Amino acid sequence: MQFSAAQIAIIINGKVEGNADMNVASLGKIEEATEGELAFLANPKYEEYLYSTKASVIIINNTQELKHPISATLIRVPDAYTAFATLLDKYQQMQNQQLTGIQQPAYIDVTAKIGEQVFIGAFAYIGEKSIIANGAKIFPGAYIGNNVVVGENSIIYPGVKIYNHCIIGKNVVIHAGTVIGGDGFGFAPQPDGTFIKVPQIGNVIIEDNVEIGSNATIDRATIGSTLIKAGAKLDNLLQIAHNVEIGNNAVIAAQAGISGSTKIGNNVMIGGQVGIVGHLQIADGSKINAQSGVSKSIKTPNSAVTGSPAYDYTAALRSQAMVRSLPEIEKRIKELEKLVKELLIPKG
């Protein structure tokens, strides 16, 4: 399938410089692209390739100045990275729209409701009274339990497991191997040292436009709902415990773990391998640096913290700088001690 520079510019609201009829049929990295491919330049580190690439069409920022002549057709946009992401999304949507129908063998309970333009892959399981809304894609080997709702145009990739009573909103993407609605980690300690399991009878609600990476686990609530709010983006290999709430447009990187009943605010950014203990409040706009351990609530919006235990980011940097200066400080102290001793020794 080919697209002209003019057609691409319409999709990404760009302005063409050069041959608007130039066609491309595939995508390529600017340093490797060949004739007939589309590339983009967003990172200044790759600017040198703008003048040597063989790409036929290149998306660049409006602010990009040309230091040498180039042969490729340019499409200027306010943000080349965002424009390229938009283009990739449109391309993926076109591919997914071609997937419709029910492959065999697949199990669909007679009480389940299946919408229009749905795709259900081979060996998928759809449980009792579940709803698969219009345009949803259930890839091979996925498990959809009883009374589950999968919203319009959502994509459930291979091997995803969604337990009973969970609700998935519209335009949600859940990548391979993720488990939604497994039991939360709830055990009551007994006097004899044993534990009694606390039944987890709640569910998980994932609102619209959420994306969840591969092999993440989001536990069902003990009572009520574990909630992932609209627009949140969750990376691979996450552990989200029971009754956690993740705010609108929050972003969480890989290998983070959030303990039970913690509430993450809107637009929070959490780095990789962060650990957050239970029953905390993380204010809107907070930024938590990678590998931090958060043991207290963050109450001030737009705070930045780092370390374990995590504390103010700027103060942490000052502390690190001070630690690096300790050898020099020690040397100066010893010199001062020597000087003081010389001054105290009586002369003659």
* Residues designated as active site: 242
**Short-list 203, 89, 64, CA closest to 155:** 89
Residue pair 112/95 in contact by the 8 Å Cβ criterion: no
- Say which amino acid occupies 63: T
Question: Which residues, including other chains, have CB under 8 Å from residue 161's CB and lie 6 or more apart?
Answer: 142, 143, 178, 179, 180, 181, 182
Residue pair 59/41 in contact by the 8 Å Cβ criterion: yes
Q: Alpha carbon of 103 to those of 119, 129, 141: distances in Å?
A: 8, 20, 11
Question: Which residues, including other chains, have CB under 8 Å from residue 336's CB and lie 6 or more apart?
Answer: none
Characterize the bridge pairing of strands 293-294 and 275-276.
parallel
Q: Alpha carbon of 231 to those of 90, 209, 214, 332: distances in Å?
A: 18, 5, 17, 54
Q: Give the distance, in angstroms, between the CA of residue 72 and the centroid of all CA atoms in the same chain.
A: 33
